[in-house]
Amino acid sequence: MPKVGTARCAVRAAFSGAIVCAILLTNPCRAADPSTNTPVAAPKGADTPEKLIKQIADYCRAGDSTNLLSCFDSSSRVHEIGAKTFAVSIELAKAKMEVRDALIKKFGAAKVAKLSGTYAMPPGLDPLRKIADSFQNPIVKIEGDAASVTFGDPSEIPLKLERKDERWLMVRELQGMAAEDLDEAVDSMESNRYYTLGLRDVLKLIPETKSIEEADKKIMEAVDRQVGIYLAQPNAPQNK
């Protein structure tokens, strides 16, 4: 079963979760230039730490995992995976909400509230807002081209920022991913990426189900099927 991260403290907690489409995992965010209709790379980072934190919070609240990637340093393999796992977590939250809302539309909130599967999300919960809210009131300490950010909790691990080419970027190390090594971080990201594929696969099936029990079974089957596809790959950790 894949590891599913909490939505409590965003970067401060170790996110393990969800999928960003392959294009989001390999390409920089781009927008169209209206004068030429050609892709233009979005600017990386922000010009102050405070603006970067607000930017991350805004992208989290909007569920914008594409632009979220532009807030992170990806100059090393560890930092790249750190950025991707965070964006993947946003997609997991979105997928869970989509499944929950489809179930509520079909069977009502009372029945959905009783579900206990790992995909289940209580009616009324907005994890994207909770993630965004965890970035409020940052306490920033700058030392040259590095900065640490906390939010008033004495037990939290400070967020790490670095300034490159006059732009501040978030830096995620293995500690922030709750991983002992890079292989574990990649495995967590990939297994949850496929987990979310399973959630999105089943969205089109929920309206056709006759009972909440049938829907729950189909959701778990879809998740298991997608995670199984990942686990069967030669590069999956247990196959190395």
pLDDT tens sequence across 86-124: 999 999 999 999 999 999 999 999 999 999 999 999 999
How far, CA to CA in Å, does 203 sit from each of 5, 31, 191, 216, 223? 21, 29, 19, 12, 12
How many whole angstroms separate alpha carbon 175 and alpha carbon 159? 11
Facing residues of 49 across strands? none
Ramachandran angles phi, psi of 134, nearest 5°: -70, -10
Residue pair 130/149 in contact (Cβ under 8 Å)? The answer is no
Residue 10 has pLDDT above 80, yes or no: no
The sheet with strand 139-143 has its strands ordered as 139-143, 146-150, 159-164, 167-171
Please, where are the H alpha helices in 72-207? Answer: 77-107, 109-112, 127-133, 182-202
The model scores a pTM over 0.85: no
Of the ranges 26-35, 103-112, 186-195, which one carries the lowest mean pLDDT score? 26-35
User: Which pLDDT score is estimated for 72?
Assistant: 97
DSSP letter, residue 72: B
Across the chain, mean pLDDT equals: 83
Name the most confidently modeled range: 39-43, 172-176, 233-237.
Answer: 172-176
Q: What band does 237 get if pLDDT is binned at 50, 70 and 90?
A: low
All residues at 6 or more sequence positions from 118 whose CB lies less than 8 Å from its CB, including other chains: 1, 4, 223
Greatest Cα-to-Cα distance within the chain, rounded to the nearest angstrom: 61
